[in-house]
Amino acid sequence: MRTIYALLVGIDAYRGPRHARLSGCVNDVLAARRSLEHRVGDRLSVRTLLDGEATVAAVESALRDHLGQAGPDDTALLWFSGHGTELVLDTPEERAVEATGRSQALVCVDGPLPDKRLGALLDGLAAGGAHVAAVLDCCFSGGGTRDPRWAPRFTPPDPSWLPPAAPRDTGGPQRASGHVLLAASRLNQLSYEADYAPDSASGAPVRRGVFTHALLGALGAAGPDATYRELLAAAHAGVRRSGFEQHPVLFPADAGGLADTPFLGGAPRTPSPHLLRFGADGWEVDCGRVHGLPGGPGTEFTATGPGGGPLVARAVLADRTLVVPDGWAPEAGRVHPVALSATPLASAAVTVDGPEGFAKSLADHLTSPVVRLVTGPEAESAGLLLRVQAHGDGQVRVLRRDGSPFVAPLPLYDPVDTARVADCLTHLAHWHGIRDLEARTSPLRGHIRVEIVPWGDQEPLVPDGNGEIVRAYDGPQEPWVSIRLRNLGDRPLWCVLLDLNDRYAIDSTLFPGHFIAPGHTGYALGNQPVRLSLPATREPRPGAYARDWLKLIVAEGELNTVPFRLGAWDPYGPGARGGAAPDGVLRLAGPGGRDVGPVRAAGPGQWATRTVALRTVVPGPGVTGPGV
């Protein structure tokens, strides 16, 4: 039977006058223990360190000795409630991996436990095969790997605390985090504690961390298979309903990874692109204009879980959409997976040239609201036109407006093949919708500069006459570059850098979502080289090339990045035969067709985009790469 090893650390009584006394941290970990005991029963092996017991040495020792017992089928959980702090970084090597210019630390009773040290200890546990998770309820915990009514859990750094040295690794793939983190706040924010109604009939209020209170509530309402992403979304909504200006953080947030495993371990699940939750402004779905969603009447979602129903949009904001459940009552303490089911205007137009039976079958399979069948003049005015041709040779061709192919011809021998064509059209519409995403007006435009620099150089490359940055192979050696994101503005900004390639894939590995402080620089892959190579299926012979579009999305706060993820188009892969599409992109339900009345107009929002076109070539005559 799988064992859950838990280390619970709560510190209210700090030593010395520099550190304000807290009142809710011990309550936090005692309540967390009760929640864990209720959830996993006798599978729980717990060690608790309270107040003076929680020295740096004791915490590190318990991490190694207690949580270190966790084997390949076990779970190791750290829960810390106490003060957090931050330290200014001095060296370029440190700033290359911390785009805010600061390092975070947990504050034990006798000093700091830096984030890099804590992260290494947790990843060391994961190296042995255990599932490793951390819950941090302290200030600046998003990088850490609480007035009289509301106490901030922050303490200023002692002059004797020196920031840890950050090693620089300039070769090989970036090492992924081995643990999942649920943090009370962003790495530049305070976290708070406040008084709450008691758990029992004692009548006395109980002080707890705002985040811990919300997270324990989410755990109590969640089912046994709730994932970290779903719990964080529910806890985030609870914190926002309480009125506190702190934003809980999930790390890493990559789709299909640790964030999408059930709480305390299990097999990863394919995440829903969108989640419904009850926030400060009522019911909301975590996508908006920045994800390509148009405003105006007609936007609808449909809950994909059991007992769900339709949701009608009342306002499409920059990062989220406020909705009203239509004919059903979602449970306010939980999050619900939903899919986009109707929009005022599809992003792609489709024309069909082929037998009447094929055209009708394709229309039946085109259930996604991002594509629509058109004829005549509508096709001429469409922004993205997908021309489908089927002429009795057993193949279907998907062509651009000029007649060039988007993809290789698709087979057409049975009804499953028609579903495959519909999936292809939806895939192409999604990819182009993200590539062409743009905030028409934004006060953030130009605040972040994208620079592509030859590895080892300092001067950024400039686009050629076609508007592309071109890098060439040197014999068999692919070109290496560094990609920098410079914040030229006057405020911290959250950035994600997407790589859209000519195989119609979208990936966020380069810079998966992080804040960059004013005057600071974020580096793709943590300042490791970005190796520009042709795909494995494309021989690097003279004249061959590959194209990428680097899509920068800038916002004032974190965004849901799951809708941005898309695997390369594969006509025979998962999702290409009429089921769920690969990599978390769900087949969307058909439009409901109801008149939802007027929707309040939303402003442009605080977000911006920038696209950099990149071509990797093998020098020589001829052109063998694709056109996109």
Do 210 and 184 touch, CB atoms closer than 8 A?
yes
Q: How far apart are CA 215 and CA 211, in angstroms?
A: 6
pTM listed for this prediction:
0.80
573 or 527: which leads in pLDDT: 527
Q: Among the ranges 176-185, 332-341, 398-407, which has the highest mean pLDDT value? A: 398-407
Model pLDDT, residue 74 = 96
Q: How confident is the model at residue 186 (pLDDT cuts 50, 70, 90)?
A: confident
Regarding the domain delimited by 448-556+606-617, which CATH topology (the fold level of the hierarchy) does it fall under? Immunoglobulin-like (2.60.40)
Question: How deeply is 212 buried, as exposed, middle or buried, from its count of CB atoms within 10 A (0-12, 13-18, 19+)?
Answer: buried
Q: How far apart are CA 134 and CA 122, in angstroms?
A: 8
Q: Say yes or no to pLDDT of 296 above 80.
A: no
Q: For the residues 226-237, what does the mean pLDDT come to?
A: 95
Nearest to residue 354, comparing CAs of 408, 417, 431? 417
Tokens in use for 166? 């950050």
Whose tokens are 């997908």? That residue is 386
SS3 389: strand
Q: Say yes or no to pLDDT of 586 above 50.
A: no
Give the type of residue at 368.
Answer: S
Tokens in use for 594? 């109801």
What residues form DSSP beta bridges with 80? 9, 136
Model pLDDT, residue 622 = 59
Angle formed by the axes of helices 210-221 and 25-40, to 10°?
10
Q: What is the pLDDT of residues 128-178, one digit of tens each?
A: 999 999 999 987 655 444 333 344 444 444 444 333 333 222 233 334 568
Q: What is the pLDDT of residues 388-435, one digit of tens each?
A: 999 878 899 999 999 999 999 999 877 778 999 999 999 999 999 999
Regarding the domain delimited by 4-269, which CATH topology (the fold level of the hierarchy) does it fall under? Rossmann fold (3.40.50)
Domain boundaries, the chain: 4-269, 276-342, 348-435, 448-556+606-617
Q: Say yes or no to pLDDT of 99 above 70.
A: no
